[in-house]
């Protein structure tokens, strides 16, 4: 089970996404601003963030830039979940470090597929980092696992 943070000013969309992910066995929380997200991220590091682009006061790309510049939070995978359809906005999101981009309205199957893929990639990366740091004296059979 993964903990997923949803950052979206549209409570209906956030609740819908949270219900889908909770029914799939994940833990979810949601906040409706980048400020609230930043405050929560001080206390808890999620396994994945679903981040809306257009929100009052500060857009999702601003939070994404701060995450990527944070020594503690830079490696959290982020999927932009937004109604913005402009290709330029999508390119900017990828430039700032988003791993994926889902347009609203989204299908339940597509959301679950993308989230599973992202969590699987994160797990593979964590395993590779762990194996890379195993001592050289570890027997080869163990290092290969």
Instruction: Please report, rounded to a whole number, the percentage of residues in the chain having pLDDT higher than 70.
Output: 86
Helix (H, G, I), strand (E, B) or coil at 141: helix
Domain boundaries, the chain: 3-144
CA distance 134 to 2: 25
- Per residue in 86-116, is it b (16+ CB within 10 Å) or e — as a string? eeebbebbeebbbbbbbebebeeeebbebbe
Query: What CATH number does the domain located at 3-144 have?
Result: 3.40.50.2300
Average pLDDT over residues 22-51: 97
What does each C-alpha distance from 30 to 19, 53, 105 come to in angstroms?
A: 11, 15, 18
Mean pLDDT of the chain: 90
Identify the pLDDT of residue 123: 87
Lowest mean pLDDT among 38-52, 60-74, 122-136: 122-136
Q: Give dist(CA 81, CA 34) in Å, integer.
A: 14
């Amino acid at each position: 089970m993964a903990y997923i943070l949803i950052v979206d000013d549209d409570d209906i969309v956030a609740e819908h996404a949270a219900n889908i992910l909770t029914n799939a066995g994940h833990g979810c929380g949601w906040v409706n601003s980048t400020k609230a997200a930043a405050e929560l991220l001080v206390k808890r590091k999620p396994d994945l963030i679903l981040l809306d682009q257009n929100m009052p006061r500060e857009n999702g790309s601003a939070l994404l830039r701060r995450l990527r510049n944070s020594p503690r939070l830079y490696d959290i995978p982020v999927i932009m979940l937004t109604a913005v359809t402009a290709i330029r906005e999508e390119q900017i999101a990828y430039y700032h470090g988003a791993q994926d981009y889902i347009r609203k309205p989204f299908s339940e199957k597509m959301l679950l597929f993308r989230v599973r893929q992202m969590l699987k990639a994160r797990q593979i990366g964590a395993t590779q980092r762990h194996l890379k740091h195993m001592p050289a004296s570890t027997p080869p059979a163990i290092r290969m696992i």
